[in-house]
Structure 1
Amino acid sequence: MTSHVNTSSFAALGRLLRYARGYRRQITAATTCSVINKLFDIAPEILIGVAIDVVVNQEQSFVAGLGFETAQSQIAVLAVLTFFIWAGESLFEYLYQILWRNLSQRLQSELRQDAYEHAQRLDMSFFEAQSSGQLVATLNDDVNQLERFLDGGANAMIQVLVTVVAVGAVFFVISPLVALLAFTPMPIIIWGAFYFQKKAGPLYADVREKVGDLSTRLSNNLAGIATIKSFTAEQREAERLKASSEAYVEANRKAIRISSAFIPVIRMAVLAGFLATFTVGGLMALDGSLNVGAYGVLVFLTQRLLWPMTGLAAVIDLFERAMASTQRILNLLAEPVHIHDQSDRDLVAPVRGEVTFRNVSFRYPASAAGIEDIDLAVPAGHTVALVGATGSGKSTLIKLLLRFYEPSQGDILIDGQSIRGVSLRSLRTAVGLVSQDVYLFEGSVRENLAYGNPDATDSEVIEAAKTAEAWTFIEALPQGLDTPVGERGARLSGGQRQRLSLARALLKNPPILVLDEATSAVDNETEAAIQRSLKRIGHNRTVIMIAHRLSTVVDADTILVVENGRVIEQGTHESLLQKGGAYSSQWRVQTGQEQLPAAANATV
């Protein structure tokens, strides 16, 4: 994912087999059925040669030596054998198809599930550096590529190998000379297979990348369709999508050009082997050094041996696509999780909500932004507000509290317990987050409200909605709590989504509630409603607010002014106004008492 491993497709296959070690029985059974089916598939050609031998030599034929004296009885025996061979071939074809297809379904489902669950455990820094389109392409399209290979390609590869071994053995038993001539093209075929595999591998890796880019473009454009329309950028975005689509087509064209050249090369090699068997074997049959029936067997088996080699092109094409996809899936699974549970111990209940930052510092790897030497104590049940310019470090404190990131130094404690020493589940259960960027899942209002507490009763859901002043508009919806919200809540207004987000957090009933710009994108009426809610829900609960509008934090027990990653002022609204510092200056600007200097940041 973030870095690509330059290993061959066979290395990817090895990694896949190690991952699938729990399916060894199914793989062995499917492989066995493929082998037996191919052996039965080859047998009719041998029987044809034996039948020719019976017709030509009759009482002196090979079958006569087995105790069947008359030609009629020999033909009858061959007919019975043919029936059982065809029945066996059909049976084992049914079995290998069932086994391979079921294996492909189970393995692709488990692989997708494991990759998704692993992705959920990855750090937030991974998602901030990775496009969602690439991840969706990996979890969906790449897994499907592997499924297609297991559905048919794996069996085809096995049967080609069985054909070479089994037919080769028959050839060398009948005539080592003809066998050598028939196998002469094999090095060319094998060299060609590896040559084209080597050439096609990087090309199909590029194809997978282009699929991810295309998925990213589609995902972003559909999510931002309102912005596209408002800027009348439809034509521009259509051109950009066309460019991504053409890049995918071009990547495929290069791969197809290589894979398509394989069949003509192999076809000529097959012709050389067939002509050698046909000519030399025929001359040997004419001079009596080779049985006529054996000659028939060799001619039929030469095609059976060499002609399937032309199918290697399609098999290798499928194999390369699957292994390129497998690399991406397994690379995702190999992404390290840096933030994980270091303990299965939960926060001691009941959680009072006392939050302490002790000399905490953190810098984002990709920039110099972060916080430095933060010492902060939030008593249980208090409301603390963080204000400051965009990028000053306010949201970083919240991300560290939730352990989305780890501080480079210092420690964060809840009720005196280091958050590193408790389970992530208990930590994040104790903290309710209401973000500026509200995310609602596609489903009903009820499902979204109960997301943090799926077992909540309707009365509990309604009470949380009333506390968040969301119940009035919910009642007015066409289906009430059962009204679909649309993708990302698209059927609701921004203020409605914000109030649902607050109600969702309240239904979780966390001892610590974090409001990250919860009122920055709503109208005055909605802001007033949320403010009324906060006065009620702040009782016996620790509330940490991040706000740009200073009017929303005037009632906070403590206000912290953050600048360049440090706390530069701290106090109540009244005390900070009296200090005449940064907070006081911004308050006067926002209340229209003075103009903001041109060089200053207009937001706090």
Structure 2
Amino acid sequence: MASSSFQALYSLIRYARGYRRQIITASICSAVNKLFDIAPEILIGIAIDVVVNQQSSFVAQLGVESPAMQITLLAVLTFLIWAGESIFEYAYLILWRNLAQQLQSDLRQDGYEHLQKLDMAYFESRSSGELISVLNDDVNQLERFLDGGANALIQVFVTVIAVGGVFFYISPMIALLAFTPIPVIIYGAFAFQKRAQPLYDDVRRRVGDLSSRLANNIGGIATIKSFTAEKREAAELRRISESYVASNRAAIRVSSAFIPIIRMAILAGFLATLVVGGMQALDGELGVGAYGVLVFLTQRLLWPLTSLAGTVDLYERAMASTRRILGLLDTPVTVVDSTRGEAVSFSVADDIRFNAVNFAYAQAAAPTLRDVDLTIEGGSTLALVGTTGSGKSTLIKLLLRFYDPSSGGITIGSHDIRQVSLQNLRDAIGLVSQDVFLFDGSLFENIAYARPDADREAVEQAARMAEAWSFISRLPEGLDTQIGERGVRLSGGQRQRISLARALLKDPAILILDEATSAVDNETEAAIQRSMVKIRQDRTLIIIAHRLSTVVDADRIVVLEDGKIMESGSHSQLLASNGAYYRQWRVQTGVHA
């Protein structure tokens, strides 16, 4: 288990190699600050030696014979040491804290950018709350360690080395006695680390569960209220929160037991120095000043080790977070972006071809698409219809390269989409989905999301084409109206039309309407139908629909069942064939044989 934490630390150091100079400088400042911090205890012992031995003191042997001058010299040295300690403390605080801020910013940014590159399967197997927990809580936990824990570990190490050197110089025997507890303390720290690591891993998982539940409940507050499930959800949140508390309690129990053990070990070392050193001083084997130095330094050596438990606790929490953060960064990208060749410009004349495409979702019981061969002529309107789960939306996800086919390929014009950059591919496609996502901001900002450089005239034109201007113009603030998170201040139909306007502003060669009218009112459906008359001009239009009334004017209708193409043709041709399309049309129109 301990090796796992060290591996996480090693991985973190490798990640932070761009900050190597800053890390080294900060570490040096921490070490020098601790050396200055130890020095006053040595000067106190030397001052006692001056008072007791005067002309024969240690300082006198350096050529300063007057006791008054010796004390003055020690005062000057004390001032310089305290000033140096303050300067280097300021330096290491600035360096470590800035490093913590810069590194946490880089980790969050790199994590988010890597997250955007992962295919949709990754997001479908994880909750948004869990991912937010990694990018927020875990990054902040690591920041807290870098902010103080790293400096504490360095200073404990420097203290042991520096004080140990002084001890062995003055009295090797007392040094051995004083240092006897240190192996016990170190062993205890490693034992604690071994027991604490799985506990803190569990704590981080519980944080993810808690964040996920809060995100889901806040996003679904309308559903919770409509089902009067407030008490039930509060009870469930309390259960998850109590699990988090229990997980933390287990970790705290282990860390709290470590501190008393360290205190008793420190007491043993201090008593050994006090008693043995005192006896030697009484027998004249050890100078009074040297005895004072040893007593003071024993405190300086052993007392900081009481905070070692807290530092190791912080370290373990940080390494648990580091494993989650770097685990995200190490997640392989399965949909690899192509950067080869020149930029491709797609046009409305380009045909779209699905060539023997097969696809299965991870852990799915059966393939979603089976040997699909489909050509969509450039500039035409194609409708995909079929029962739920027949593979309609999956075809669109493959076209956008949210996933790659298990076998087969997709081309637009003469270009295999796997050989085209994702930027080029997705710039050529506009998507209006059933599940509309709008950002917290103004109507203008949401429509202009497709083209951030668009002016108000272009945005208004897109809104008119999407039949959205009729309601926008009636709002007191027009395009500047704030719509709230996920467009909560708009109706479902209004959100759908804003989504359509956003896609139209992009002016894509290929426009996809994925169930765009399945959850809207008749007025909105009629508005979108009117829009399609203008929309279908000068672009390839792909419509996925359950309502067959919305696709009767399509140039071609393709019927999917169980991932296979069962029928294809115009509305009148499919009705005449008396197949699956005819049966579905009969059910929807209420015409029975």
**TM-score interval, smaller chain:** over 0.9
What per-residue deviation string (whole Å, max 9, x for no partner) do you get for residues 88-128 of structure 1?
00110001000000010001001100000000001111001
Counterpart selection for 2:353 from 356, 379, 384: 356
What per-residue deviation string (whole Å, max 9, x for no partner) do you get for residues 490-536 of structure 1?
11000000000000000000000011000000011110000000111
The answer to whether residue 291 in structure 2 is matched with residue 291 in structure 1 is no
What per-residue deviation string (whole Å, max 9, x for no partner) do you get for residues 242-285 of structure 1?
01100000000000000001110000000000000000000001
- 1:598 maps to none
1:349, distance to aligned residue in structure 2 (A):
4.7
Say if 1:364 and 1:370, in contact at 8 Å, map to a contact too: yes
Counterpart selection for 1:243 from 239, 243, 249: 239
The answer to whether residue 131 in structure 2 is matched with residue 130 in structure 1 is no
| Partner AA of 1:50 in structure 2 | I
- 1:205 maps to 201
- 1:406 maps to 404
Q: Distance in 2 between matches of 1:594 and 1:128?
A: 40
Counterpart selection for 1:439 from 437, 440, 464: 437
Counterpart selection for 1:52 from 24, 48, 55: 48
Q: Distance in 1 between matches of 2:477 and 2:286?
A: 86
Say if 2:2 and 2:190, in contact at 8 Å, map to a contact too: no
- 1:484 maps to 482
Counterpart selection for 1:74 from 67, 70, 77: 70
1:485, distance to aligned residue in structure 2 (A):
1.1
SS of the equivalent of 2:401 reads: coil
Counterpart selection for 1:92 from 88, 110, 135: 88
Q: Distance in 2 between matches of 1:558 and 1:400?
A: 20
Q: Distance in 1 between matches of 2:309 and 2:4?
A: 18
Unaligned runs of 5+ in 1: 596-604
Counterpart selection for 2:463 from 455, 465, 476: 465
Counterpart selection for 2:515 from 511, 514, 517: 517
Q: Distance in 2 between matches of 1:232 and 1:248?
A: 26
Q: Distance in 1 between matches of 2:3 and 2:553?
A: 60
Say if 1:351 and 1:415, in contact at 8 Å, map to a contact too: no
Counterpart selection for 1:331 from 327, 334, 349: 327
**Greater displacement, 335-344 / 550-559:** 335-344
Say if 2:518 and 2:546, in contact at 8 Å, map to a contact too: yes
1:416, distance to aligned residue in structure 2 (A):
2.1
| Partner AA of 1:195 in structure 2 | A
- 1:394 maps to 392
**Greater displacement, 586-595 / 87-96:** 586-595
| Partner AA of 2:182 in structure 1 | M
The answer to whether residue 22 in structure 2 is matched with residue 30 in structure 1 is no
Unaligned runs of 5+ in 2: none
- 1:599 maps to none
Q: Distance in 2 between matches of 1:340 and 1:8?
A: 30
1:9, distance to aligned residue in structure 2 (A):
1.2
Q: Distance in 2 between matches of 1:371 and 1:180?
A: 74
1:350, distance to aligned residue in structure 2 (A):
4.1
Q: Distance in 2 between matches of 1:353 and 1:429?
A: 15
1:301, distance to aligned residue in structure 2 (A):
0.3
The answer to whether residue 258 in structure 2 is matched with residue 262 in structure 1 is yes
Say if 1:353 and 1:512, in contact at 8 Å, map to a contact too: no
1:10, distance to aligned residue in structure 2 (A):
1.4
Equivalent residues in 2 for 1:64-213 (5 A)? Answer: 64-213=60-209
- 1:365 maps to 362
Q: Distance in 2 between matches of 1:572 and 1:326?
A: 57
Q: CA RMSD in A?
A: 1.1
Say if 1:369 and 1:391, in contact at 8 Å, map to a contact too: no
SS of the equivalent of 1:110 reads: helix
- 2:39 maps to 43
Q: Distance in 2 between matches of 1:527 and 1:325?
A: 48
Q: Distance in 1 between matches of 2:198 and 2:534?
A: 61
1:211, distance to aligned residue in structure 2 (A):
0.2
Say if 1:124 and 1:405, in contact at 8 Å, map to a contact too: yes
- 2:452 maps to 454
1:353, distance to aligned residue in structure 2 (A):
3.8
| Partner AA of 2:352 in structure 1 | V
| Partner AA of 1:510 in structure 2 | P
1:343, distance to aligned residue in structure 2 (A):
3.4
Q: Distance in 2 between matches of 1:349 and 1:332?
A: 34
Say if 2:164 and 2:175, in contact at 8 Å, map to a contact too: yes
SS of the equivalent of 1:337 reads: coil
The answer to whether residue 551 in structure 2 is matched with residue 550 in structure 1 is no
Q: Distance in 1 between matches of 2:346 and 2:401?
A: 20
| Partner AA of 2:52 in structure 1 | V
Q: Distance in 1 between matches of 2:543 and 2:350?
A: 14
Q: Distance in 1 between matches of 2:349 and 2:264?
A: 80
Q: Distance in 1 between matches of 2:63 and 2:112?
A: 65
Say if 2:339 and 2:420, in contact at 8 Å, map to a contact too: yes
SS of the equivalent of 1:476 reads: coil
Counterpart selection for 2:423 from 425, 430, 433: 425
Say if 2:559 and 2:566, in contact at 8 Å, map to a contact too: yes
SS of the equivalent of 2:454 reads: coil
What per-residue deviation string (whole Å, max 9, x for no partner) do you get for residues 117-166 of structure 1?
00000111100111111100000010000110011111000000000000
Aligned-residue sequence identity (percent) comes to: 67
| Partner AA of 1:361 in structure 2 | N
| Partner AA of 1:504 in structure 2 | R
SS of the equivalent of 2:473 reads: helix
Residues 66 and 6 (structure 1), Cα distance of their counterparts in 2 relative to 1, 3 Å cut: closer
**Greater displacement, 341-350 / 49-58:** 341-350
Q: Distance in 2 between matches of 1:13 and 1:434?
A: 45
Q: Distance in 2 between matches of 1:343 and 1:35?
A: 47
Say if 2:348 and 2:540, in contact at 8 Å, map to a contact too: no
- 2:318 maps to 322
- 2:414 maps to 416
1:185, distance to aligned residue in structure 2 (A):
0.5
Equivalent residues in 2 for 1:495-534 (5 A)? Answer: 495-534=493-532
**Greater displacement, 434-443 / 360-369:** 360-369
Say if 2:348 and 2:378, in contact at 8 Å, map to a contact too: no
1:410, distance to aligned residue in structure 2 (A):
1.1
Aligned residues: 591
Q: Distance in 2 between matches of 1:349 and 1:326?
A: 43
